[in-house]
Amino acid sequence: MKEKGILIVVSGFSGSGKGTLMKELLTRYPQTYALSISATTRAPREGEMDGREYFFVSKDDFEKMIAKGELIEYAKYVENYYGTPREYVEKMMEEGRDVILEIEIQGALNVKKLFPDTLLLFVTPPGADELKRRLVGRGTETMDVIESRMKRACEEAQGMENYDYLIVNDDLDECVRQMHAVIQGEHLRSSRNREFIEEIREDLERLKGEE
């Protein structure tokens, strides 16, 4: 029944450990998932490779990509563009891979508007107490840093109910299993299997006629 891949957007609180989670998911199921690689106009840093961390492009080329509709979503931070090239995502999905985009809420909602079948996942610590601990840190941060983390977390929490599922990151191993189960379960949604349903119906009608 499973054929085309699902487009998945993963967001979450800073400090929710979603980076580690993604890495572990891809290590464990390399044939099932593909991580979307963003295009950016910022310069590569030491050790970064074109096509691995990012596709590094010029501002001119990036703006051409926007104009030609080659990006699923994009945003500008501090004078640099970041965006999701459509081609790589669609190619992976056609091959049956579930493609993961790690982006912020505004981008997430834009992707969902464009591709209503997108699965939105929000990674969160197991509870507010734990989130507090992670945000406050080990007592070595300045008040300014903590305040700005707090403010950011409050903003991040505003969009939580727009996501389809909450992925609770307490134990990494358990969390990877949960996330995999949720995504693979989604493949069984009847709304994602209209063709299968139609096929069974047609076959039954034909067979009934043959009696």
Binding site for its own copies (CB under 8 A): 1, 122, 124, 126-129, 131-132, 135, 143, 146-147, 150-151, 153-154, 157-158, 160-168, 178, 181-182, 184-186, 188-191, 193-194, 196-197, 199-205, 207-208, 211
In whole angstroms, what is the distance from residue 164 CA to residue 33 CA? 19
Nearer to its own copies, 55 or 165 (CB): 165
Minimum distance from CB of 107 to its own copies (Å)?
A: 18
Secondary structure (3-state) at 33: strand
Minimum distance from CB of 159 to its own copies (Å)?
A: 10
Burial of residue 102 (CB within 10 Å: 0-12, 13-18, 19+) is buried
Nearer to its own copies, 17 or 85 (CB): 17
Nearer to its own copies, 73 or 156 (CB): 156
Q: How many other CB atoms are found less than 10 A from the CB of residue 84?
A: 23
Nearer to its own copies, 19 or 185 (CB): 185
Q: Tell me 160's DSSP state.
A: G
In whole angstroms, what is the distance from residue 83 CA to residue 71 CA? 6
